Structure 1
């Protein structure tokens, strides 16, 4: 028997994520942004400057992919590489003034996209969906040996 993909949590979650990414890309592109920038922007806004390795961990992205993303973000003037004050072999990634200025746009687009996607759910259903997604993420992070990244 062939897997019924419409009954597969992994398939449906992946499909949903791709649709979210397409909508975010459509709305972010006019601002010179892309969905791949979002985890970096949010992490730096939350925690301040950090190493590329830490950013890779926070975003659950392989380091080569993160390096390419950071190179594009430097090119676009959103982030800067700074010398690490405690380790001369390492650098820190920090938001530039331009990157900080883009945060309200990214947040507004993110809120609007979430609202569109969840508009047919009641408030209690929205909370239940988010709780269940956090629970699934937690299980998969433990399974993969990653530290928990999403609060309960």
Structure 2
């Protein structure tokens, strides 16, 4: 995690921001509640995270089309511009971490990690 964080910090990204950034990239604008579900965190935790991300210029809030009390959260132009480089940095760290692994070993490793995450999400 430290290696990922070191590569992302100059881009104003952090590992904590990634679930939000990826959810917004894949789904477009979302509500805070939806982002909390995607990231598997409680609403207060997500609220604090979004406040930091807004401060860092990575998200913007806009009005919800049908609920005046809610706001939709979107990636900012800054985040969209930096996301390809962030993904590249993550890929480089993952490549370094699995140096010397065969393609089959990498695939097995990723599958095992997915199973670990699924097990933790179930319990």
Where in structure 1 do 4 or more consecutive aligned residues deviate above 4 Å? none
Match of 2:90 in 1: 110
Secondary structure at the counterpart of residue 72 of structure 2: strand
Residue from 42, 57, 67 that aligns with 1:62 = 42
Inter-partner Cα distance in structure 2 for 1:120 and 1:80:
41
Residue from 39, 44, 50 that aligns with 2:19 = 39
Contact 2:63 2:72 in 1 (8 A): yes
How far 1:66 sits from its partner (Å)? Answer: 1.4
Counterpart mapping for 1:117-132 below 5 A: 117-132=97-112
Secondary structure at the counterpart of residue 71 of structure 1: helix
- Residues 120 and 32 of structure 1: CA distance in aligned 2, closer, same or farther (over 3 Å): same
TM-score, normalised on structure 1?
Answer: 0.75
Inter-partner Cα distance in structure 2 for 1:43 and 1:99:
13
Counterpart mapping for 1:132-147 below 5 A: 132-141=112-121, 143-144=122-123
Match of 1:6 in 2: none
Inter-partner Cα distance in structure 2 for 1:136 and 1:76:
32
How far 1:116 sits from its partner (Å)? Answer: 1.0
Structure 2: stretches of 5+ with no match in the other structure:
none
Give the greater-gyration-radius structure (CA).
1
Q: Deviations over 1:32-84 (max 9, x none)?
A: 22111111111111110001111111111222221111111111111011111
Higher relative contact order (CA 8 A, sep 6+): 2
TM-score, normalised on structure 2?
Answer: 0.91
Secondary structure at the counterpart of residue 132 of structure 1: helix
Q: Deviations over 1:88-127 (max 9, x none)?
A: 1211110111111111111111111111111132110111
What is the RMSD computed on CA atoms of the aligned residues? 1.4
User: Number of residue pairs matched?
Assistant: 123
